[in-house]
Amino acid sequence: MGTAIGYVDGPRLRRSLLAAAAWVTAGRDELNRINVFPVPDGDTGTNFSHTLRSIAEALHRLGDAPLPDVSRTAAEASVRGARGNSGMMLSHFLLGFNEGIGSRMRVRSQELAAAIRRGFERLQEALEKPVEGTILSVAREAAAGAETAAREEHDLVPLLRRTLARADEALQRTTGQLAALKRAGVVDAGGKGFVRMLEGVVRLIEKGMHATDDAGGGAAAPAAAAAAALAVVAADQDYRFCTEVLVRGDHLPSSADARRALAPLGGSLLALRTADLLRVHIHTDDADAVFGVAEGWGDVLTRKADDMREQHRLLRTAARRAAVICDSACDLPDTVLDRFGIQLVPLTVMFGDREFLDRVELTPAEFYRRLRAGGEGAPPTTSQPAPALFASAFEHARADADGVVAVVLSSGLSGTWASAEAARRTFAAEGAGGVEVVDSRSASFGVGLLALRGAELADAGWDAGAIARELERVRGQSGMFFTVDTLEYLLRSGRVTRGQAWLGGLLSMKPILSLDRAGHAVPAARVRGRAALLPRLFRLLDAALPPQRRRLRFGVAHADVPELAERVRAALVARYQPLEVLLAPVTGVLAAHVGPGAWGVFYQVEDGTPDLGAARPGAS
């Protein structure tokens, strides 16, 4: 007979949510295969596990804490990390669950059941057009099961088992509740994700933390294995883009007002509102119109528009051989990341005792605003991602590809490479290989352009090992030159001495810096006055670039000087006629070390790529 559990406190809830996230991740592929409603785009498992992964990352950072803090952290992280219909619905449930927990330091059976009930109610209230046979039906029955058990049980172990059993019964009924599920012979994927979440908690009690053996994610029934790929999109759901946007502002509309504003633009509409954040999910044919409305509400932190028709087409083909990951210092625009499916692992920016995940909780625009406002009394500092963040990203990427290539910030500038490599070793030790970590030996677009090339090769069918080798070759033909407007930030980071900074300021000297082959910052030149910078930089580029080149890319990164950066971009196009020139603001984790007014040019020569067929093992 097992040990009775009389209450849930902060550490217990934290461990339960971590176990739930691990168990959903273990079954992600199955959830993707059976995803046919509302559209068969095969990503419910990815979206549901991504949302839970955001929660897990926040809870790892939090550590053991009181129950209200754990509950609130999970709910807030779900808003920031919610992805897709299923992720948004889960987030609504967790916001309601957090309301049900309130300020209690412990909850017993009836209080826990009431919190689950409040989670269901919050979810139902958020749906403009509630549909039975979805996660809504499963959550309702889970709440009813918990309430029934709480009237008879003080021990939470049988309560959770009965809650799971009731939810699973509701899940099995979903097949007959929706025509799309009935035609495919599957249960609702979002509802199954919710059941797996509950299973993860029960398994924690019965078998220990994160028990993922016999995961049940690999052996779907034949009908289920091809369900998403073979399903036909209903005419009233045939929108092109799965569109999401996260907005921060002081005067955001309510969730209901946001839904009303966007309702004419599409379907599958969900809106999540907290004190200063609003996340919207909608299926639409006009993603730009959605983004335009959102920009009128506040600062847009993230946006995406996945082409669901293309996703459905790809479900009928083999999985990609490789996925590409890079850290948030890559400075690639969101449009490029979305187009190539490149996943970001965020570094952290600190203003005083406040921490922000780079490009997730703090955009470049918000970083510069805080910097101009005085940085809350302290200069910004930065820290590398923990290995656990990379490990989670590797797991997520392996759901969609046979291998993973991670391109990261120079090991000579940051511990980010060491974190990624530690995660790779752990991943390999657990029998889940196929991960390659490439030290960019650079920063900003020096990372981003390599990742972009890697994603192009992945789309061409290259495997992870071949991509990593090619990126290391291209890295030897790449480089950068950058300058700063003030030596203050380099002085703070130890890149120049106090005497050099004083003399440089006195003489109006502007340094031009580069990176050596090990990825360390080194001086390349110095000029007197800003006007001399671009001509000297061009002379440096002329000397660095091979005279004969066919595939040349540039990136121009700037620290809050967009007009200057655009002039540099135009000059590069006119002088070198490159394949392309990307332009973006320097993200906060780099701007904290170079300061406002800095800018740089990154070049990548891609000539010499071996034949694509020869690079693929088994090619004849």
Q: Which string of b and e fits 236-270 if b means at least 16 CB within 10 Å?
A: ebebbbbbbbbbbeeebbebeebbebbeebbbbbb
Q: What string of DSSP letters covers 35-71?
A: --SS---S-HHHHHHHHHHHHHHHHHHH-S--HHHHH
Q: How confident is the model at residue 492 (pLDDT cuts 50, 70, 90)?
A: low
pLDDT for position 488:
74
pLDDT for position 575:
95
pLDDT in tens, 436-469: 999 999 999 999 999 999 999 998 889 999 999 9
Do the Cβ atoms of 39 and 180 come closer than 8 Å?
no
The three-state secondary structure class of 403 is strand
Q: How far apart are CA 396 and CA 81, in angstroms?
A: 14
pLDDT for position 113:
96
40, 262, 581 from 338: Cα distances, Å = 19, 22, 18
pLDDT for position 376:
63
Q: Under CATH, to which class is 10-212 assigned?
A: mainly alpha
Q: Under CATH, to which class is 239-312 assigned?
A: alpha beta
pLDDT for position 65:
94
Interacting residues of 348 by C-beta distance below 8 A, sequence separation 6+:
355, 356, 357, 358, 382, 383, 384, 385, 589
pLDDT in tens, 202-238: 988 887 644 444 444 443 333 343 454 444 455 556 6
Lowest mean pLDDT among 100-109, 296-305, 423-432, 533-542: 423-432
* Best CA proximity match to 463, nearest among 320, 318, 314, 344: 320
Q: Please determine, for residue 481, whether its predicted confidence score (pLDDT) is greater than 90.
A: yes
Q: Which helix (H) or strand (E) holds 436?
A: strand 435-439
Please give the CATH number for the structural domain made up of 478-605: 3.30.1180.10
Q: Please determine, for residue 503, whether its predicted confidence score (pLDDT) is greater than 50.
A: no
State whether CATH 1.10.3860.10 applies to domain 315-475. Answer: no
Estimate the crossing angle of helix 416-429 against helix 387-398, to 10 degrees: 50
The three-state secondary structure class of 415 is coil
For the chain, what are the domain ranges?
Answer: 10-212, 239-312, 315-475, 478-605
Tell me which of 293 and 307 has the higher pLDDT. Answer: 293
Section 350-378 average pLDDT: 84
Q: How far apart are CA 26 and CA 514, in angstroms?
A: 44
pLDDT in tens, 154-169: 999 999 999 999 999 9
Estimate the crossing angle of helix 562-576 against helix 533-544, to 10 degrees: 40
pLDDT for position 529:
83
Q: Which pairs from 541-545 meet CB under 8 Å and 24+ separation?
A: 541/481, 541/576, 541/601, 541/603, 544/479, 544/603, 545/576, 545/603, 545/605
Do the Cβ atoms of 581 and 554 come closer than 8 Å?
yes
pTM of the model: 0.59
